[in-house]
Amino acid sequence: MSAVAQTGVRRTGRGGALAGVWVVAAALFAVLPYVFSSGTGLTTMSLMAIMIIFALSYNMLLGQTGMLSFGHAVYYGLGGFLVVHAMNGITAAHLPVPLAVLPLVGGVAGLVFGVIFGSVSTRRGGTAFAMISLGLGELVGASALILRDFFGGEDGITTNRTKLLHVAGFNFGPQLQVYYLIAFWCLVCMMAMYALTRTPFGRICNAVRDNPERAAFIGYNTQSVRFIAFCLAGLFAGIAGGLTAINFEIMNAANVGAAPSGIVLLMTYIGGVGNFAGPVIGAVLITFLQVMLSDATEIWQLYLGILFIVMVSFAPGGIAGLIAMHAPVWRARLLHRLVPAYALALALGLVTFAGAALALEMAYRLSAGSEGGTAFRFLHVPLDAASAAPWSLAVLLAVPGFVAFRRVLPIVGNAWAATLAEARRGRGR
């Protein structure tokens, strides 16, 4: 964590570079639809942008303030529901309100519910907060099914985004227009949340996370710090929910339930809680896997679970943490020294994984859970799980691969230590 704080301090001195990052991000948002132009591509990217906001708002709690929440979808979902109701109300009353400002309604809703639930749940941090968030999440999730008028029962509440006031010829029928709307809000929210981490308040949040006793001792009320962070997280989660409502034109009780609360935790943690870019990476990666992995395999949840366990065990800083670790080496222009060791480890890791994945896929074909028989395709190659040949192949890949991989790990470690030491020395000179 302290390394992250250091890099952060350094970054503040480089306002120009920071502005450059935002310009690049904006350009990326603008260009991507021309690269991935299919309906699926646009829908997936819209979803990714929404999830970036949601995961970043979650990281205001977990990463910035050290609050583990199991019920963050409450604010996301309620924000979305308020937006759907607002859209329908505006359409019915023919009010001259453009669609583009409606995510604000979601933000306000998220903020209001954040204030209400935050006032009871943020009195304590740690496990007590985690458990209250779990309880509140279950309560709201269960009520969503019971209260039919507001949550629309099983069918949910639908709306039509094209019926609102059209500004400058945009009717938001085509997904492309909706994508740009979401991308705009995503960029605004990212900048706002990043700016927040640079304020004194953001620093106090970090202090409350790292050492609440000391933060209290130097005069900060840790309870109100947690409360304010919680409300702000609710605000941004609400905006994300509002954009979901606009993107899908439907909100459903599942949106406030346990599943999105769990997914946002996965995204944020796998991406990396110690770094602002972490949740962004996690949101993009996990959304992509959710949409696409189920095409490749029925047991995608197993892979996701294993990925999560591996990340927690070996890379608690997440993907962003791994990348940030290399910053000093990168600055010393020594990254190429690591390439051979990394390439070797990666190759062996891939071989091991291919063997293990092949074995898992075949085990699934043979298992009671599969309904489809034993024939299947692995990497486009048709195979039969009931025959011995692919099993031998799997074992031949996985076992020697793993043994060799274990052997190579110390080499990687040594290369890393040597390179890092040299990078530090270089900087010292």
Partner 1 sequence: MSPAISRVVAFAWIGLMAGTALGRADTLKIAYVDPLSGGGASVGQVGLEHFQYIADQVNAKGGVLGMKVEILGYDDKTNPQEALVQVQKAIDAGARIIAQGNGSSVGAAIEDFVAKYDDRNPGKEVVYINYAAVDPSLTNAKCSYWHFRWDANSDIKMEALTNYVKTRPSIKKIYLINQDYSFGQSVRTEARKMLAQKRPDIQIVGDELHPLLKVTDFSPYIAKIKASGADTVITGNWGQDIALLLKAAADAGLQADWYTYYAGGAGGPTAIRQANLADRVFAVGEGFANIDYAPARAMETEFRTKLNGQTLWYPRVFNMMDMIFRAIEEAKSADPLKFAPKLEGMKITTFDGGEGFMRAADHQFFQDMFVVALGPLGAGQPFDEEHTGWGWKEVGKVPADQTVLPTTCKMQRPS
Partner 2 sequence: MLELIIVSTLNGVLYGMLLFLMASGLTLIFSMMGVLNFAHASFYMLGAFFGYQLSRALGFWPALLIAPVLVGAIGAAVERYGLRTVHRHGHVAELLFTFGLAFVIEEVVQMLWGRLPVDYRVPPTLDFTAFTIFSTNYPAYKLFELLTAIAIFAVLLLVLTRTRAGLIIQAALTHPDMVAMLGHNVPRVFMLAFGVGTGLAAVAGVIAGPALVTQSNMAGLLGPILFVVVVVGGLGSLAGAFAASLLIGLVQTFAVAMNVSLADLLALFGARLAPDAFFAEITQVTVAQIAPIMPYLLLVLILIFRPRGLFGTRET
Distance separating alpha carbons of residues 416 and 344, to the nearest angstrom: 14
Pick the binder of partner 2 from 20, 305, 340, 413 (CB under 8 A). 305
Q: How far is CA 115 from the centre of its chain?
A: 24
Mark the segment that binds partner 2 (CB under 8 A) among 162-170, 200-208, 320-328, 363-371: 363-371
For residue 241, give every residue at least 6 positions away whose Cβ sits within 8 Å of its Cβ, in sequence order, or none. 54, 75, 76, 77, 78, 79, 80, 81, 83, 106, 109, 110, 251, 255
Kindly tell me the sign of the dihedral angle through the C-alpha atoms of 86, 87, 91, 94: positive
Nearer residue to partner 1 within complex by CB, 145 or 165:
145
User: How many H helices and E strands in the chain?
Assistant: 18, 4
Residues engaged in binding partner 1 (CB under 8 A): 35-41, 43-44, 47, 142, 145-146, 148, 153-156, 158, 160, 162, 173-174, 244, 248-250, 252-255, 259, 285, 288-301, 303, 307, 310, 346, 349-350, 353-354, 357, 369-372, 379
Kindly tell me the sign of the dihedral angle through the C-alpha atoms of 274, 277, 280, 284: negative
Mark the segment that binds partner 2 (CB under 8 A) among 198-206, 211-219, 295-303, 376-384: 295-303
Nearer residue to partner 1 within complex by CB, 249 or 384:
249
DSSP, collapsed to helix, strand or coil, labels residue 13 as coil
The binder of 64, among partner 1, partner 2, none, by C-beta within 5 to 8 A per type, is none
For residue 132, give every residue at least 6 positions away whose Cβ sits within 8 Å of its Cβ, in sequence order, or none. 120, 121
Q: Does 363 bind partner 2 (CB under 8 A)?
A: yes
DSSP string, 326-340: THHHHHTT-HHHHHH
Distance separating alpha carbons of residues 425 and 420, to the nearest angstrom: 9
Q: Euclidean distance between the first and final Cα of the chain, in Å?
A: 26
Beta strands in 310-418 (DSSP E): 375-378, 381-384
What is the closest distance, in whole angstroms, from the C-beta atom of residue 25 to partner 1 in the complex?
Answer: 20
At 413, give phi and psi (nearest 5°). -60, -45
What is the closest distance, in whole angstroms, from the C-beta atom of residue 304 to partner 1 in the complex?
Answer: 10
The binder of 346, among partner 1, partner 2, none, by C-beta within 5 to 8 A per type, is partner 1
Q: Are 407 and 345 in contact (CB under 8 A)?
A: no
Pick the binder of partner 2 from 135, 174, 340, 413 (CB under 8 A). 135
Pick the binder of partner 2 from 35, 217, 313, 372 (CB under 8 A). 313
Pick the binder of partner 2 from 9, 20, 22, 150 (CB under 8 A). 150
Q: Are 126 and 62 in contact (CB under 8 A)?
A: no
Within 67-86, which residues bind partner 2 (CB under 8 A)?
Answer: 68
The binder of 38, among partner 2, partner 1, none, by C-beta within 5 to 8 A per type, is partner 1
The binder of 231, among partner 2, partner 1, none, by C-beta within 5 to 8 A per type, is none
What is the closest distance, in whole angstroms, from the C-beta atom of residue 276 to partner 1 in the complex?
Answer: 22
If binding means CB under 8 A, how many residues of this protein chain bind partner 2?
Answer: 44
The contact set with partner 2 (CB under 8 A) reads 68, 120-121, 123-124, 126-128, 130-132, 134-136, 138-139, 142-143, 146-150, 258, 262, 265, 269, 299, 301-302, 304-306, 308-309, 312-314, 316, 363-364, 367-369
